[in-house]
Structure 1
Amino acid sequence: MLWSSFGHQNHSRGYKDKGCECEGVGKGSPSGAWSSKEIPNKILPALYLSYQDLPSQLEQCFLCSTLFSRTFTRPFAVSVWISEGFITPNGDTALEELGNDSYRELVRRNIFMVNPTHYDESACMMHDLVRGLAVSMGQGAHYSGDLQGLKNSPTKPRHISLVDDGLSTIPNEIVDCDSLRTLICRTPQLRNIRADLFEKHRRLRVLVFSWTKIERLPRTIGYLIHLIYLNVSCTRLEELPESMGLLRNLQFLVLHGCKCLHNLPNSIVRLPKLRSIVLLNTPISQMPKGIGELKDLQVLSGFVLGDKRSVSNQGSTMEDLKHLTQLTNLVCYHLERVPSGTEAKEAALGSKPSLRYVELHCDEQQSPEEEEKDRIKQVFEGLCPPPCIENIEIHFFFGRELPRWLVTTNSSSLSNLRWLKLTNCEYIQRLPSLGLLPQLKYLSIQGASKIVAVGPEFFGESGGGFPKLEEMYIKDMPNWEDWHLTQWPNDGVPLLPCLRKLALEDCPKLKSIPGTLIRRATSLKDLHICKAGNLSNLVERSASITKAVILDCPLLEDISNLAQLQHLDIGGCPAIKRMDNMCSLKYLLLRDKEMEAMPNWMQSIMMQLQRLELWVNPDFIRQCLPLNGPGQPKIILHNPSRIFDETVESLLHTRSPYSFQINLTQETMEGVTVLPLDETSQHSQI
């Protein structure tokens, strides 16, 4: 990480003298940056060089990031940077896009490390050393720590991130600060917000009380006329004061996960600069009437339709979305309340030129009538997104067929779609030709319980074949039996050429995985199969799969011909008899508390393993120990290995340097003598 950071800095300065690797290192300092007196103690010089090379805007964003928790998300970081004025306008480009560019640049420079579990690189962290550099450089203006550290601070910071598990109210030290601009409270026990906090600090720009126990915000929050970012997510808030309508500069309002919040103040529609409202997992009953007047809205994550069947209905309609032409992200709930496809069209989703992300949610329906299934299909027909759409999620759709704009063989209407997630669309009877989507990279299908068979039409038998797909997840398909690909075109037509990961879970009736898929997906590295109770073999040749996780497949007998497989995690597969042509396998994790003896297939691969982990019962472990007497060892461990079970019993053996350690219960160890594995052993200990 250090050399990568320095490498980016070195490259950006464009050194011309290839004969001197350090030329230009000391620019701005007569004696060179490596010996500069300005370098703080304990800060590695290479990191400091990377900091010196940051443009002013990136430097501000970098220092501000010390206020965040160890891991943070891109939307949070970008919103705070905009609120602090670190992202300067540039022509017609949206501030959010400019902020995303800054985020990506900090990732490119290895200052931020992306969390690999987030497909779109939307979460990251800072290495402790990099964070230490930022803390050192930001001393004076920024403070992140507990209350005692704030008391001892020689300066009066204007940007504070308070991290204290014991605080239940805002302390005097915060109220008495001068010219506070940022207050982030990472104080999970906080229950009370003093009214005088807002009376004193009227120039606050960023205010965060997320993950606290507050139940109300004082009315004095209306004094914060300079406030740009307010985050009270995952709190116990029951209501927001009407004085919120006085926050005329508020641009970001984040309220996700507020389980006790059911209504928004009507005054929220008087916030002319509001750019983002996030209400995910907050049970708002309906949006205030007039939400469509917020013409600057770009993110509306949690648009809840009013219920026309309710006598007191004064909520929003689809027409309120019509005038929100700048939307980039939209999440809609309660679409079952839309009476017709005609009213759905009033949202005019297809005419929003910047819309990139959309989620469409219905409430779960129990045995809907056929008429209702037809109606919801027409509603979704009216919600056709624009061609620029990149991410689509559909949840609890209860029609028999997905909307035509998704299933059409003409993929031009979704030519930029990269992410598609279909969750609990349990009444659809077939999957559309999604393989024709030219840019699709991520596909998740879950809970389509009426699907029985999937054929070549799913892949786009006219020649689609998912040309860009990288990850495919299919889960919770209780009636899916047949997956065939016998009619796929000739070898000249690519099939899943970019697929890296395939995961199948909770498909108890699935009989087989198409051999054509395994053979033709030449980029497939990661295969996950879980709870496929009817799957009997996995023997197709693959020259690409390097990791496989196979769990709870009780009828599976044969796993063979995965010549490049290096990592195998297997369990709940008692019928396994063969494991042939696995010459690259180096790591085996076996999970089976019922298994009492070592299977033959395991003995055949033991000599090639570098690492072994067993989650088994004690009787199995006893067989793996080097025993004295007739019970000679059945396992010879040539390389670092670890054997353990769920009772925290373990065996660790390392050949070089030699060590042999076991941690077993007294019952397991009864009658066992542990001997060195060879004459060169240095020690053996229990």
Structure 2
Amino acid sequence: MSEAMVKFFIHRLNFLLLQETEIFCGIKHQMECLITKLGEILKVSGDLCNTKADANASPWTNVLREIICDADDLTDEFIIQMDQQRSSDRSELTKSFTNGLQEIVSRLATTINRMEELKFSTTVKGNNETDTNKPQEIEEGQTSAQGKPAAIGVEEKDNKENSPETKGSQIAEAKDSVTIGEEDRKESSQVLMNYNDLPYYLQYCLMYCCIFPVNHRISKGKLIRLMVAEGLAQEKPGQLQEDTAKENINELINQGILQVNDDHIGERVCLTVNPDCHEIILRKLEEENFIAACTGSHSVIPHIARHVSVYSNMETVALQLNNVRPRGLFFLGSQDLSREHGNWLNFNGAKFLRILDLERTKIKRLPEEVGDLIHLTYIGVKHTDLNELPPSLGNLRALQTLDIKHCGDLPALPPEVLNLARLRHIKMYKRINVGGVKLPPGIERLRNILSLTGIHSGSGTAQELSKLIHLTRLGVLDVAEENVGDLFASIMVMQSLLSLSLEAENFIKGTLVLLESFLPPPLLEKLRLEGRLEKIPSWFSSMERLTKLRLGFSHLSENPALVLQDLPNLKILILWNAYDGKKLGKEFCRFGGFPKLEILTIASRFLEEWTEIEEGALPGLQYLHLRNCMNLRVLPEGLQFVTTLKHLTLIPLLDEHAERLKPDGGEENYKIRSIPQISYMPMSTLQELFPLPPPCTPAEKGDKLG
């Protein structure tokens, strides 16, 4: 734990020296002295843990946490005050800050000396085969800037309570206040031992996941952006931090600590922490003040808590927050944050916030005061009623992520957004009957932008996009014929683009024009097209790296699978009203077709019959979702040969078809008998929940089936 804490703080200090050159001008040497001393701490801490003194290492973790929290507060406060006095004499501020740095370095030096003494004493005693259980006394250390003791004594009780044999029991008893059984103690201890064996960067990744409640599903993309915004992804030469964060998450998935939610239909990847690990690690993190959960006015938040999760109304925890300097504030619920309920940002430590996650809260606008939070790197207001963004947003020079997906009627970004030079991700998407968000002229100023989604393609934006050559993810709405030429020309210069989403104006009925002359970016992995297509363009077959494809409301007259089944790396295919044919046969997928396809979703009110799947086709299919296939009367012969299938979804299922699929005598049951999980909803049940509209004439049918 101490290794992770120190290394990430060193990373932050180096980042600040690189990014805030004006503020730290003239005091770079003092900052480097602090970084050097932290490096010495890492070495001594590692040596201490390699001796028989490792049982005494936990108190030193507490000492280091106090010192680093003080240093972090000191540095962030200095940046705030320097920002407020841009045109004034800053010499007094600088002098005060350097004095504070010297005190921090002195405290670290004292801590290093006493850790060395403990290491030497323990080594000598071990060599002489003396009693290693004898308590080691640590003299009282220096006093911090807040008057708190910088070191603590280690007594025999501490040794016992922090030993590996009893750590799991201690945490479980803190939760339940009861004696647990031997098996539970062993399991808890094993979880903590496995956690402690993880590299420091995986420990912090897992800690961050435990901010959210048990069984809470968090999208993989959001977790990646949060980790980067917090500086929790170790830097690797030539690699984006987002890619490093993704690797860390995948490692935890491979170890079974993070679990992928498997009831999806391929739209996005959601993660949860293994429940067996979550409870135990959460208690450990609460003890270490990494996380504090506010469930009501009775909640007690330690003054050095770095991340606060609010489950209740802000009013009930406002006084508690006045004593905290959190770096992350998460609202987990539907709290009312409207202005008539007071200024929810009016607490002393708000100015230190880096993460502000307001997802699904009741809020219509961000307060103007949000512009004073100059340390903010992440703002998440997804699924809120937000209708506007304050001009003060332009003050947030450290902001990396602005997530305003599925907000209210937000028509445009304010021009002040162009001041956010470090912005990496702008996540936008419309609600029903609301078009794309308009961008201010000059969007090319955001040279660090990686993700830009939910934008309106008009007003010259399509042409300006050509300057954003580092984009990895692009989503454009309201694509019209008059701007498609400029848009496709801009996309072709985006050599790093991995994900592309294009949506026509009024996509349910509108036409999406795809130019035959278009050459997809060479690294493209995900493609989403919404709107009527005349045909599948020839360049589809060139996308050899494509892993995910969604065709929505394409209403093709030719079966798209004739082309798509040859894509060598396609794993997820979503055909949502993509093909208007009434019948699918074995031509949908011949032998060896879709070699890596794992998830197939088909939605069509035209489809009546899927006759056959050739044996050897769909060799890796795990999830088959048939949604809104209101007239599908039969499942394909050969489905029983797709032995990799884990989950079949049939929503709705015709009542007479349900009879044929029953296990006790159903004539089609052999097709699905070996599938472990089947989800379905009979048509009669669906009609009770959602009554169908009156029948329409044939002339109207084509319009209404979208």
| TM-score normalised by the chain length of structure 2 | 0.63
2:609 and 2:686 map into 1 onto residues whose CA distance is 29
- 1:190-589 equivalences in 2 (<5 Å): 190-192=337-339, 194=343, 197=346, 201-282=350-431, 283=434, 284-306=436-458, 315-335=459-479, 337-339=480-482, 341-348=484-491, 350-364=492-506, 376-379=512-515, 381=516, 384-395=519-530, 397-406=531-540, 411=541, 413-426=542-555, 428-431=557-560, 432-448=562-578, 450-454=580-584, 458-459=588-589, 465-478=593-606, 480-481=607-608, 483=610, 494-508=616-630, 513-515=635-637, 517-518=638-639, 521-531=642-652, 559-560=669-670, 564=674
3-state DSSP of counterpart to 1:331: strand
RMSD: 3.8
2:380 and 2:407 map into 1 onto residues whose CA distance is 11
1:566 and 1:201 map into 2 onto residues whose CA distance is 50
1:382 and 1:182 map into 2 onto residues whose CA distance is 47
One of 200, 207, 218 as aligned partner of 1:56: 200
2:371 and 2:412 map into 1 onto residues whose CA distance is 18
One of 130, 145, 160 as aligned partner of 2:294: 145
Deviations 1:585-616 (A, max 9, x none): xxxxxx9999xxxxxxxxxxxxxxxxxxxxxx
Match of 1:93 in 2: 239
After the TM superposition, which of the residue ranges 249-258 and 355-364 deviates more from structure 2?
355-364
One of 233, 252, 263 as aligned partner of 1:117: 263
Q: Which amino acid aligns with 2:537?
A: P
Give the Å deviation of 1:274: 0.4
1:143 and 1:59 map into 2 onto residues whose CA distance is 18
Give the Å deviation of 1:421: 1.5
2:283 and 2:481 map into 1 onto residues whose CA distance is 51
Match of 2:275 in 1: 127
Change (3 A) 1:128 1:343: same
- Alignment check: 8 A CA contact 2:608 2:631 kept: yes
Give the Å deviation of 1:345: 2.4
Match of 2:3 in 1: none
Give the Å deviation of 1:352: 2.6
- Alignment check: 8 A CA contact 2:653 2:680 kept: no
Match of 1:669 in 2: none
One of 289, 310, 321 as aligned partner of 1:162: 310
Change (3 A) 1:521 1:57: closer
Give the Å deviation of 1:80: 2.3
Change (3 A) 1:96 1:288: same
1:366 and 1:63 map into 2 onto residues whose CA distance is 42
2:352 and 2:673 map into 1 onto residues whose CA distance is 64
1:323 and 1:520 map into 2 onto residues whose CA distance is 50
Change (3 A) 1:366 1:304: closer
2:302 and 2:348 map into 1 onto residues whose CA distance is 25
Give the Å deviation of 1:69: 3.6
1:199 and 1:568 map into 2 onto residues whose CA distance is 53
Match of 2:190 in 1: 46
2:555 and 2:454 map into 1 onto residues whose CA distance is 23
Give the Å deviation of 1:219: 1.9
Deviations 1:127-165 (A, max 9, x none): 165334333234334312224344x3454423211211x
- Alignment check: 8 A CA contact 1:538 1:559 kept: no
Give the Å deviation of 1:251: 0.3
1:243 and 1:448 map into 2 onto residues whose CA distance is 44
- Percentage of matched positions with identical amino acids: 25
3-state DSSP of counterpart to 1:437: coil
Give the Å deviation of 1:519: 5.9
Structure with more strand by fraction? 1
- Alignment check: 8 A CA contact 1:168 1:191 kept: no
Change (3 A) 1:213 1:168: farther
- Alignment check: 8 A CA contact 1:443 1:471 kept: yes
- Alignment check: 8 A CA contact 1:334 1:362 kept: yes
Q: Which amino acid aligns with 1:214?
A: I
Match of 2:31 in 1: none
3-state DSSP of counterpart to 1:279: strand
Change (3 A) 1:403 1:49: same
Change (3 A) 1:329 1:117: farther
Match of 1:177 in 2: 323
Change (3 A) 1:430 1:183: same
Count of matched residue positions in the alignment of Structure 1 and Structure 2: 507
Change (3 A) 1:497 1:196: closer
1:85 and 1:571 map into 2 onto residues whose CA distance is 45
3-state DSSP of counterpart to 1:377: coil
Change (3 A) 1:203 1:428: farther
- Alignment check: 8 A CA contact 1:219 1:243 kept: yes
Change (3 A) 1:159 1:506: closer
3-state DSSP of counterpart to 1:59: helix
Match of 1:76 in 2: 222
1:206 and 1:45 map into 2 onto residues whose CA distance is 32
Q: Which amino acid aligns with 2:227?
A: W
Q: Which amino acid aligns with 1:216?
A: R
After the TM superposition, which of the residue ranges 35-44 and 113-122 deviates more from structure 2?
35-44
2:633 and 2:314 map into 1 onto residues whose CA distance is 57
Deviations 1:19-57 (A, max 9, x none): xxxxx9999447895435797342721122122212222
1:292 and 1:417 map into 2 onto residues whose CA distance is 27
Q: Which amino acid aligns with 2:292?
A: Y
1:134 and 1:26 map into 2 onto residues whose CA distance is 27
1:447 and 1:454 map into 2 onto residues whose CA distance is 14
Deviations 1:498-519 (A, max 9, x none): 223333344455565553x436
Larger RCO of the pair (alpha carbons < 8 Å, separation 6+): 2
Give the Å deviation of 1:245: 0.9
Change (3 A) 1:196 1:564: closer
- Alignment check: 8 A CA contact 1:219 1:241 kept: yes
1:160 and 1:267 map into 2 onto residues whose CA distance is 29
1:573 and 1:160 map into 2 onto residues whose CA distance is 46
Give the Å deviation of 1:279: 0.9
1:291 and 1:275 map into 2 onto residues whose CA distance is 13
Change (3 A) 1:504 1:216: closer
Change (3 A) 1:291 1:418: same
Q: Which amino acid aligns with 2:238?
A: D
